[in-house]
Amino acid sequence: MTFREISPKININEMKELGKLSGEALKHKEERDKELHAIMKGEDDRLLLIIGPCSSDNEEAVLDYAHRLAKLQEEVKDKIFIVMRVYTAKPRTKGDGYKGLIHQPDSKGKPNLINGIKAVRDLHYKVITETGLTTADEMLYPENLLLINDLVSYHAIGARSVENQQHRFVASGIDVPTGMKNPTSGNLNVMFNAIYTAQNAQNFLFNYAEVETEGNPLAHAILRGGLNEYGKNIPNYYTENLLDAIKVYEKMNLKNPFIIIDANHDNSGKQYLEQIRIVRQILINRQWNEQIKKYVRGFMIESYIEEGRQEEPIEYGKSITDPCLGWESTKELIHEIYQTEAK
């Protein structure tokens, strides 16, 4: 064993006192969570939009973005429900590179995970209390769930984690919507098996105790495209892909069927502007086919203030991980979705 402890043990209760929601802010979050759950259950027919930077690398820029997004949410709230991506833990294909605010609270500084988790809580807290938006994050490290579960309204299990039993079991105890991405291979069975596992009661060790969960009926699908054996991206947002996914959903008799299209990653091949075309195609498909309209009810979009990406955190509001839409195209796209849905 070469683990060397370099920090004191975290006290979860103490940590949760930092950025703890109370009063009006807590009530507001609970109200919004109820709305989100109604959307997932098909009781509210608004589209779900999970949108924001690929990684929340800089508090000032992320809050600036959040304030802009909150204004837009107000304008489109009768047709679109927005949950902001406040992604603070990044899975890396080879383990190298920026791994999110939780690892590096200062993207130009050294890793410091204790300060990182404080920064993560602080950022979710500030987005919620300063803008009124609620937030989504990736559950990259299931053992960290208890450090943020009171703040995060939507969890995603990423393409590199979705086949892992610990992720699936922990998801079965979460009481907010949890999106299962298809794996990087594009294999849909892995994603549907993850949804099945998460929707059912499980019994396992968590936080050094034996726990029982009830199953999460709001676990659902996120199609993000895949990569073939030659590293070529194979999208899965086309009509036939959607109809195939719907068939599996029906065959497996899963609860609250809901499909989100992740417009970036291996659907766009990280050509971030393609997100606009992909969203448009889905909107056309929704108008064309009743089944698709019934099942495909959400988008995940990567967007920030400046478009594209940069290698180092130099330019304000520009992604240091995957390339994102810039603010102007984001605004236009959200207005376009709104107008199409309002027809």
State both tokens at 304.
Answer: 């920030």
Note whether 282 and 289 are within 8 A (CB). Answer: no
Cα-flanking dihedrals φ and ψ of residue 299, to 5°? -125, 145
Torsion of CA 182, 276, 48, 214, to 10 degrees: 10
**Can you tell me which of 75, 97, 164, 342 binds ligand E4P, judged by CB under 6 A?**
97
Applying CB under 6 A, among 52, 53, 105, 158 the residue interacting with ligand PEP is: 158
Those residues whose C-beta lies under 8 Å from the C-beta of residue 160, and which sit 6 or more positions away, are 91, 93, 183, 184
HEC per residue, 171-203? HCCCCCCEEEECCCCCCHHHHHHHHHHHHCCCE
Contact 59, 126 (CB under 8 A): yes
C-alpha 73/C-alpha 55 separation (Å) is 21
Interface with ligand E4P, residue 300, by CB under 6 A: no
207 phi-psi bin (left φ>0, alpha ψ -120 to 50, beta other): left
- Residue from the set 93, 165, 271, 310 that interacts with ligand E4P by CB under 6 A: 93
Exposure string of 243-270, with b = 16+ CB inside 10 Å and e = fewer, is eebbebbeeeebbbbbbbbbbbbbbbeb
Q: Nearest distance from residue 108's CB to ligand E4P, in Å?
A: 19
Looking at 16-24, 88-96, 206-214, 241-249, which segment touches ligand E4P (CB under 6 A)?
Answer: 88-96
Selected binder of ligand E4P within 39, 54, 127, 152 (CB under 6 A): 54
Within residues 244-273, the interface with ligand E4P by CB under 6 A covers 265
Binding mask 185-224 for ligand PEP (x = CB under 6 A): ---------------------------------------x
Residue of 321, 324, 330, 337 interacting with ligand E4P (CB under 6 A): 321
Stretch that binds ligand E4P, among 85-93, 113-121, 167-175, 310-318 (CB under 6 A): 85-93
Q: Does 310 bind ligand E4P (CB under 6 A)?
A: no
Q: Contact between 87 and ligand PEP (CB under 6 A)? A: yes
Please report how close the Cβ of residue 187 comes to ligand PEP at its closest, in angstroms. Answer: 13
Residue type, position 14, single letter: E
CB of 91 to ligand PEP, least distance (A): 5
Q: Which residue bears the tokens 């064993």?
A: 1
Provide the binding-site residues for ligand E4P, judged by CB under 6 A.
54, 90-93, 97, 265, 321-322
Provide the binding-site residues for ligand PEP, judged by CB under 6 A.
54, 87, 91, 138, 158-160, 181, 224, 262, 265
